[in-house]
């Protein structure tokens, strides 16, 4: 494998002659299999070889002893490659760039190696006092994993607040503490997010009382924020703005080919980001010109006619942009490791192109294009039931918000006396 990156045989021999040469070559093979560029691999090999010499000079003779030499080597590397006036942020970046490949190699070789890195958030921040809460959500309430992730998010925010007020025993919860959390959290999020947080907190408080962790049922203390149904407006954009968004995509690159196909899926079929990320090659029925969207939010699948424009974008990406892999997912990350793209990335890319095109819209993302698709159907006089089925709404109430935005009728009112529109 090393011969792919070095022309001179003596360079390859020098790497393999290192006492960790076999480990380095195994790591290089691992990087190549995951789609890392030759430039990245070429830059990392000298770091690893030098680290091996450094550890050997400090007495290391076995791979298991390498872990204790990582940080001393990183600090020496920073001293050699950063001057006295180098900003602290730059020094941290230098340290991270040299630490990461060493830790990756050690994690590959030593199953028990942990190393430094981001602190992993606990699944259940109240594991000690309410260890069965997540199992309760799954088994008794029957919630999906996507819903449970939202519960974990809000519980972490609640646990963080309890740390700031120095409360460790959940039996000491009081109405004033709960009100303080809701008031503090409500200043940082939208009203809808605050309502979801209050709902999750009420479920958690009822569970604490049922399990005897709390002596009082405080769930009724948490009141939902006052909101008015259909008070908001859709985040849709005009069809001309859609063309502007599509025009800023650089379709000469693999990432641009992928993103162009994703944007067309969002605005043509009104798909959710999660549904786009979950698409596989098996969902494309080329013989019958159909696109299947399985496991929608309401629990069923939908089959759409495959638009010629969408089909052409798919073909362009599959032939000229998608990495060669055995994985059946349609869309993949543009950089290594070559993994299927996630739903958050789908929404982020949509927001990126909306901002790049200069489109001003609240919370730009994949739902902006989904709302645009629904608005287009409303303007074409489709009934709400048909529209709801088309975009996969679970309830007709989800579609009603679009019925109040009658663009053409409002335009007639603005241009004339409005009698004909009424």
Q: Which residues belong to the active site?
A: 272, 297, 367, 370, 393, 402
Contacts of 76 (CB under 8 A, 6+ apart): 54
For 398-409, the DSSP string reads HHHHHHT--HHH
Q: In what order do the strands lie in the sheet with 302-305?
A: 284-285, 290-293, 302-305
Question: Residue 332 corresponds to which tokens in the numbers above?
Answer: 């993949």
Q: Which stretches of 36-127 are DSSP H helices?
A: 38-57, 70-81, 88-109
Q: Please tell me what DSSP assigns to residue 138.
A: I
Query: Are the CB atoms for 291 and 285 separated by under 8 Å?
Result: yes
Per-residue b/e over 183-195, b at no fewer than 16 CB within 10 Å?
A: eebbeeeeeebbb
Radius of gyration from C-alpha coordinates of the chain: 27
Taking each helix axis as running N to C, give the angle between helix 343-356 and helix 254-269, from 0 to 180 degrees, rounded to the nearest 10: 90
β-pair type (302-305, 284-285): unpaired
Cis upstream peptide for 384 (omega within 30°) = no
- How many CA atoms does the CB half-sphere of 50 hold within 13 Å? 14
CA distance 190 to 167: 26
How many whole angstroms separate alpha carbon 68 and alpha carbon 74?
11
Work out the angle at residue 119's Cα, subtended by the Cα atoms of residues 363 and 49, and round it to the nearest 5 degrees: 115
Residue entry with tokens 């001309």: 240
d(CA 268, CA 283): 16
DSSP for residue 121: P
């Amino acid at each position: 494998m090393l011969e792919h990156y070095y022309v001179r045989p003596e360079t390859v021999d020098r790497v393999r002659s290192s006492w960790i040469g076999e480990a380095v070559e195994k790591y290089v093979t691992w990087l190549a299999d995951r789609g890392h560029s030759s430039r990245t691999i070429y830059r990392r090999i000298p770091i690893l070889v030098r680290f091996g010499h450094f550890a050997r000079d400090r007495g290391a003779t076995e791979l298991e002893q390498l872990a204790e030499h990582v940080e001393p080597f990183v600090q020496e590397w920073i001293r050699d490659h950063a001057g006295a006036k180098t900003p602290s942020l730059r020094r941290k970046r230098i340290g991270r760039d040299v630490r990461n490949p060493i830790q990756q190699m050690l994690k590959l070789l030593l199953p028990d190696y942990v190393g430094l890195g981001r602190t992993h958030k606990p699944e259940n921040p109240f594991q000690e006092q309410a260890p069965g809460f997540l199992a309760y959500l799954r088994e008794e309430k029957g919630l999906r994993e996507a819903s449970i992730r939202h519960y974990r998010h809000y519980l972490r925010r609640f646990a963080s607040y309890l740390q700031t007020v120095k409360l460790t025993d959940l039996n000491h919860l009081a109405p004033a503490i709960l009100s303080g959390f809701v008031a503090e959290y409500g200043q940082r999020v939208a009203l809808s997010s605050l309502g979801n947080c209050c709902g999750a907190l009420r479920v958690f408080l009822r569970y604490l009382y049922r399990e005897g962790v709390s002596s009082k049922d405080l769930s009724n203390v948490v009141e939902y924020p006052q909101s008015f149904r259909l008070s908001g407006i859709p985040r849709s954009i005009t069809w001309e703005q859609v063309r502007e968004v599509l025009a800023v995509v650089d379709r000469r690159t693999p990432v641009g080919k992928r993103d162009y196909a994703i944007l067309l899926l969002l605005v043509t079929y009104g798909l959710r980001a999660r549904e786009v990320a979950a698409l596989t090659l098996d969902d494309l029925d080329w013989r019958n010109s159909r696109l299947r969207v399985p496991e929608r939010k309401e629990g069923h699948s939908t089959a759409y006619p495959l638009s010629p424009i969408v089909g052409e974008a798919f073909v362009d990406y599959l032939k000229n942009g998608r990495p060669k892999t055995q994985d059946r997912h349609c869309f993949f990350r543009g950089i290594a490791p070559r993994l299927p793209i996630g739903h958050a990335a789908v929404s982020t890319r949509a927001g990126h192109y909306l901002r790049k095109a200069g489109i001003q819209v609240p919370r730009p993302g994949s739902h902006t294009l989904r709302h645009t698709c629904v608005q287009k159907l409303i303007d074409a006089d489709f009934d709400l039931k048909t529209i709801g089925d088309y975009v996969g709404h679970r309830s007709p109430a989800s579609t009603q918000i679009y019925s109040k935005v009658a663009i053409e009728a409002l335009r007639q009112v603005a241009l004339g006396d409005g009698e004909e529109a009424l």
